[in-house]
Amino acid sequence: MGPLTRTVELFYDVLSPYSWLGFEILCRYQNIWNINLQLRPSLITGIMKDSGNKPPGLLPRKGLYMANDLKLLRHHLQIPIHFPKDFLSVMLEKGSLSAMRFLTAVNLEHPEMLEKASRELWMRVWSRVSVGLWESSGRTLDDFLTFPRHVFRVMILPPPGGSTVLPVTPLSPHRLPAVFSSSQNEDITEPQSILAAAEKAGMPAEQAQGLLEKIATPKVKNQLKETTEAACRYGAFGLPITVAHVDGQTHMLFGSDRMELLAHLLGNQVQWLTPVIPALW
Amino acid sequence: MGPLTRTVELFYDVLSPYSWLGFEILCRYQNIWNINLQLRPSLITGIMKDSGNKPPGLLPRKGLYMANDLKLLRHHLQIPIHFPKDFLSVMLEKGSLSAMRFLTAVNLEHPEMLEKASRELWMRVWSRVSVGLWESSGRTLDDFLTFPRHVFRVMILPPPGGSTVLPVTPLSPHRLPAVFSSSQNEDITEPQSILAAAEKAGMPAEQAQGLLEKIATPKVKNQLKETTEAACRYGAFGLPITVAHVDGQTHMLFGSDRMELLAHLLGEKWMGPVPPAVNARL
């Protein structure tokens, strides 16, 4: 009798940087480990409220630490995450309600698109990359990530006679997985931004528009609410949480740094091969 | 030219469970990686105060999570950590001032004893293990860890004609590193408890007593204060913090779960939290 396929749920919000990190690691392992990865779009603000917790970035030293931590993890995990200077504004004022409702709608109607759509939304919040019109900004994504925003605002002007953006110089594949593409710094509360992310994920424009129209329906609102409540019942006080169902037991693991422990819980037939699986290169 | 030895500082407090976990992993790797591990006894309450942070266990869901997390990590990391039911009382009311001053004194006068003395103090707070007089409590440390405290209070009575505690049944070596031994549930604010930990660490009784007498001296008090302030300057808002000095850069890593990242920064190989070289010695 072969090994059973175990269900692993990932509850996440695109507003949460560590959710992106956990998401990418699990996406890498879903085809190597015998797991059924279930993505669960949730609302981190709802979890904070329900648990009485507060965003860690509100404590100055934690905010400083997160900025450095993400910078180191960017290289270690090979995920182009960039801590925006106005992250408190992004986190607290703008929120992610529309985006997470959109992903909820995607999950209800086109679940096969959920992984890519989620990734593109994270790229919009957490990967400030733009390409200048008449100036190549570098050979690797790292060069892009260091450009200050005001430079890009100046640079992105329509040239005389046309307004197409120059294609991105192909990035050295050994620096990043091919799944990442550049995206512009856009506010994910704006419908246009959500549509752009969906289209970049490969969704036809009409399909994306149709799903966007559904985000205010009771069905979608309630589903997001239920998923968020499910996370709370598992004991969440933040995101991401990974819930592993193994041998009749349920284990809730918080954060993006419990994946090696997850491998241990899944047992002898799985192996932890570092957060960047060598076979992918 | 061979690889340079890099300095890695670990700031910790015996009141902090994750400090113990980070400590054991780094102790395992200090003879595998080309690092100079510098242990820095600190005061977590001072760091909390300075940063404006609060102990995570004060939030009910975080406390529940920690209890489960430590239970899973006990097995994954092979460290006999047990979350005491009265941890809030342990953490908030009793504190660790005397214990950390004692370790500061150890570091000043007998730094070669610091690792073992720290371990024994952690065992007292975070590893509630006792051995009954007339009943073998099991073959593995896991069996010990599930005994409720009141059972042991009943069991530890002097038998007629003597009052020695039976020796611990040897534990299956593949379950735990040989460095761990059982210890009784004792309050580390009590001088007797600190002395017992020191002696269990292999320190002669007079030496331990001498260091205990120094914990109220300005030299020791100031050293602990300075070490705690150094952690704050590195940006600490809790413990443990691991500070790696690599190629002219300084990296502060918080928690016991950044050791694989530390390996990446050092250019060293990560072989999991229980690297093979440890097992080879058993």
Q: Give 10-residue mean pLDDT values along chain B (282 residues).
A: 83 97 98 97 97 95 95 96 79 88 98 98 79 36 39 34 39 37 61 95 97 97 98 98 97 98 96 77 44
For residue A37, list its beta bridge partners: A8
pTM for the whole structure: 0.81
Where on the phi/psi map is residue B248: left (φ > 0), alpha (ψ -120 to 50), or beta? Answer: left
pLDDT at B277: 67
pLDDT of residue A128: 65
- What whole-number distance in Å separates Cα of residue A259 and Cα of residue A61? 26
Check residue B246 and give its pLDDT: 96
Element (H, E) at A25: helix A17-29
Cβ pair B59:A76 closer than 8 A: no
Predicted confidence at residue A234, as pLDDT, reads 98
Per-residue model confidence (pLDDT) at position A129: 53
pLDDT of residue A156: 31
- Closest CB from A61, A252, A261 relative to B237: A61
| Angle (nearest 5°) at CA B211 between B208 and B216 | 140
Task: Phi first, then psi: give them for residue A144, nearest 5 degrees.
Answer: -60, -45
Q: What residues form DSSP beta bridges with A11? A: A40, A241
Q: Do A274 and B252 touch (CB under 8 A)?
A: no
B230 vs B266: CA distance, rounded Å: 22
- CA angle B238-B45-A19, nearest 5°? 20
Distances in Å between the Cα of A242 and the Cα atoms of A32, A278, B35, B214 are: 17, 23, 33, 48
pLDDT of residue A241: 98
Compute mean pLDDT per 10 residues along chain A, 281 residues long, and list them: 82 96 96 94 97 94 95 96 78 88 98 98 79 35 39 33 37 36 61 94 97 97 98 98 96 98 88 73 37
- Residue by residue, DSSP assigns A163-214 as -PPPPPPPPPTTTS-TT--------TTSHHHHHHHHHHTT--HHHHHHHHHG
Distance CA A132, CA A65 (A): 31
Structural domains in chain B plus CATH codes: 6-137+177-266 (3.40.30.10)
pLDDT at B132: 29
Q: How far is CA A24 from CA A99, A188, A202, A221, B191, in A?
A: 18, 20, 18, 26, 50
Tell me whether B65 touches chain A (CB under 8 Å): yes
Contact A61 B236 (CB under 8 A): yes
CB atoms within 10 A of CB B38: 15
Strand partners, B7: B36
Nearest to A59 among B52, B69, B270 (CB): B52
Q: Whole-angstrom Cα distance, residue B91 to residue A201?
A: 49
Question: How is the beta sheet containing B35-41 ordered, strand by strand?
Answer: B35-41, B6-12, B241-246, B249-254
Task: Give the pLDDT confidence score for residue B188 in this predicted structure.
Answer: 82
Q: Does B72 touch chain A (CB under 8 A)?
A: yes
Residues of A in contact with B68 (CB under 8 A): 235, 251-252
- The verdict on a CB contact (< 8 Å) between B62 and A274 is no
* Whole-angstrom distance, CA of residue B149 vs CA of residue B237: 33
Closest Cα in chain B, distance from residue A257 (Å):
6
- Are A257 and B258 inside 8 Å of each other by CB? yes
Which run of H or of E encompasses A252? strand A249-254
3-state SS record for B200-244: HCCCCHHHHHHHHHCCCCHHHHHHHHHHHHHHHHCCCCCCCEEEE
pLDDT of residue B136: 37
Structural tokens at position A38: 């279930």
Instruction: For residue B273, list chain A residues with Cβ-Cβ distance below 8 A.
Output: 260
Q: Write the residue in A69, A254, A264 that is nearest to B76 by C-beta.
A: A264
